[in-house]
Structure formats: structure tokens, C-alpha cells
Structure 1
């Protein structure tokens, strides 16, 4: 019975993946501008410069975050693979928490992992991301959370490239991006 369930789960995943990946445009240039990332007037907790830890109740986050961002960052939902705007982007710049603006990654730490989500081998600093065990889907994983607001970003795996051997597998929707000035 277990093998039938595993096979069914695998086939469902493959079919879902095939439909999601079909017909998607492969534009690796991010068209985000600094103006629409730094300023979030509806979110008083967003700051690209404040690194102090904040403890905001989910009821307040629900008021200031878009529903899809709230679902991922406050309820640990996951965007579908190969659908996020940053999974295969290669523009140089900096990635921030989409909830609070905390600095998370530099694009120099991003690599092509082919997993369908943006992947990084190193976080910007030791406090930018914190971790906890996640056994939510019947497998042992390490959940990655924003070190400032505690928002769900994705997961950490030990199958990344050198020098760290880590793969920070992040949800695009949990990230904001500011490109480097040319």
C-alpha cells in the first residue's frame, strides 16, 4: 500500500510539474525597480535598513501583506516550482525579506539548482536567517525563517555547491529584489 501511495504521489508531482512548466516565458532579466521595492507604504514594518527583531502578530501581518505573500510567509505555504519571478533570474543585486525588508542574500551567492525555486549557497550574515526543524510533510527538513520578522522563506538543504555545500531553497514570493546600479 505504501509503494502505491508513493507512486501515486510521484506521478501527481510529475504531472503537476509538467503542466506548470509548459508555456512559461524564460525571461531571466528582472524588471523590478528600486522605487517599487524600497517603499511599501501599506506596510509600516518594512525597512531595508532596520535590522532590529520585530514580533508582530499574524493578525497584523494579514492587514499589511498581500494574501499570497501572507500565505507563504506567515502560514508556511509554498509557491509552485518554476513559477516564481526569481527562480532562474541572474540579474546582479540584493534580495530582501518581502515582509519586513531584512537583507537576506546577495546575488553573488545565487546559483542555478534546477529545483524550480531561487537557490543560494550562503546567507548575507549569520543573523539574517534563522532555522528550525520542519517535519510537516512527513520528511525531515530545515525551515529557513527571516531573522528579523520570523517569516517563512523556504528550506535549507545540504546539497549545494562549494564553498558551503548548502542550498537555501527560497520562495520567490518571500523575496524582494533591488538590482545593482549599472
Structure 2
């Protein structure tokens, strides 16, 4: 007796649009930011202004949730005298939550955690002072999929681009310890491969 063949998954109705936030994704964010840092060896009374970026790889595991990894870096300067430079980086686990997934609205609330560190250098001094340890992130992102409906009419995913507003915090280990907080506004460019 032959085993019954598996039934194919039900076909998507012809009028239904395939999901754009779908499958494995890769992307990055670039943009300016403002950092507020505190270190042990010298004062940092003014904010640091500069830019940074992130690189993300992950998977949309549910229509309302994605998970991935992120590498983040930032370079910023304090232009007041004495001039100072801030360099920081982190490796994080990144979660995305899509509150309007049923409407296929590509708005995501993002959160992440990991580890990283950074250092501040001051002009005229050889030493530097730094911070490191736990890192947390939070962001909100909206994505547009230009041309995806035409190039991928029956497949999910596609090329995306959109604004991202976020925060990266290198939190102090105890009261008064070194730390850094960065607020950024960047542009995310990514590609979802679809499922």
C-alpha cells in the first residue's frame, strides 16, 4: 500500500499581496548622531557629534517578529577646546517587532542587547579613557519597497529603504562609572530574500 502524498500548501489568493518583510534579510543603517559620554580620566562636558553605522543579518521568524545579529560603530568629535574624539563599537542580538503586521505595514520597533566598548581621546594627551560592557539599543524604523510589487509580484521580500531613529546605550556598571549614550537618525537599506 502506498503512503498518501503530502498535500501542497494552500495557494495564496491571486489578489493577495505577498509580504515584503519576509525571510532572511541583510542590511545596514548609516547616519549622523549625537553622543553623550562620561569617562574617568578627563571631563567630557559637551556632546560629541559625528556619524555611525550598523550592519544587520537576520530572519523574519513570524510575520510580527524578526531576530538577527548586529555590528554597530560610531565616530564622533567634541569641537570645543580641548578637542576630543569618541570611537565606540558593539556586537548585539537584534529583535524587530512589527505591530501592524496584519496590515502588512512595514513599521518596526527594534530592541537589542550585547557587548561593546569605546574610548575618548583628547588632543594634547597621550592617554585615553574608555568604557565597556553591556550595550542596549532601541529604535523605530519604517521601510519602503520601491519596485518590489513589479519585480517580485508573487514573491515576498525585496529591496527596502527607510528612515530609522534610534538609541545606543553603553550603560554604566555602577553609579558614576563610565558610560555613553548615542541618539541617531539614519537611513536603512536592506534586502529581504523572501520565504
TM-score, normalised relative to structure 2:
0.19
The structure number with the bigger radius of gyration is: 2
Structure with a larger share of its residues in helix: 1
TM-score, normalised relative to structure 1:
0.20
Structure with a larger share of its residues in strand: 2
